[in-house]
Amino acid sequence: MIDLSGKHAVVTGGSRGLGRAIALRLAEQGADVAISYQGNQAAAQETTAAIEALGRRSIAVQADCRTPENADAVAAAALAAFGTIDILVNNAGITRDDLIMRMSLDDWRDVLETNLFGAFYMTKAVTRPMLKARAGRIVNISSVSGQAGQTGQANYSSAKAGLIGLTKATARELASRGITANAVAPGFVLTDLTRDLAQPLLDELIARTPLGRFGTAEEVSAAVAFLASTEAAFITGQVLAVDGGLVMM
């Protein structure tokens, strides 16, 4: 069993959806968890309460991850609460889908700044304390869209592909200090958003997935917990697809 007892984690975008599932999984395995959230304070408080109900410590920090100052504030709050940051999960992300010819520059910029720049800022913010500890786990949440591209998602696909490049560069830079960096690339995962899709589209997405179903947030969070653990100590610079076989590379 994966044991994260005594570890301290930061999960960006951790109040809802996949981020919440990741935060809870890390707590179930023994970690204290700080989450960042953009606007839904009630959801953030519910998540921290659920973590504390598992016997772990938790804080929620409101922060727009598009600025380095906010990333520094999240890291500082986690360090003040826990003393160390052993695990960083860069999960925060948004979508602003449209075809390239119709995509506004604001929608292009917002997705890149949130999904890619935000992950860089958070990685930069935790690098110094991890280097000092000569240990750490960084897990970036990429996507099949970053591996294969998706129609109508030039901004999202570019950001998620950029995360893969950031993961590999981070892994090379920090490996000598015992810090690993990996990415998880989910496929079609059952969330509140996908539950609202029209049935014909759901059927099409399932048909494109070799395992013939949607994944779950819990299956993605299990992969994150593994990469955050000592069991994955000799794994770095890798992309773990949790996609039912959708993208085979």
Residues composing the chain: 249
Q: Could you identify the residue written with the tokens 């959230």?
A: 37
Cα(76)–Cα(26) distance, rounded to whole angstroms?
20
Identify the active-site residue in 37, 117, 156, 226: 156
Helix (H, G, I), strand (E, B), or coil: what is residue 14? coil
- C-alpha distances in Å from residue 230, one per residue of 25, 26, 150, 216: 16, 13, 34, 24
In terms of C-beta density within 10 A (0-12 exposed, 13-18 middle, 19 or more buried), how is residue 53 classed?
Answer: exposed
Q: Could you identify the residue written with the tokens 């292009």?
A: 108
Name the nearest CA neighbour of 215 among 240, 245, 238, 239. Answer: 245
Degrees, nearest 5: CA angle 247-3-24: 65
Q: Is 37 a catalytic residue?
A: no
Which residues are the active-site residues?
Answer: 156
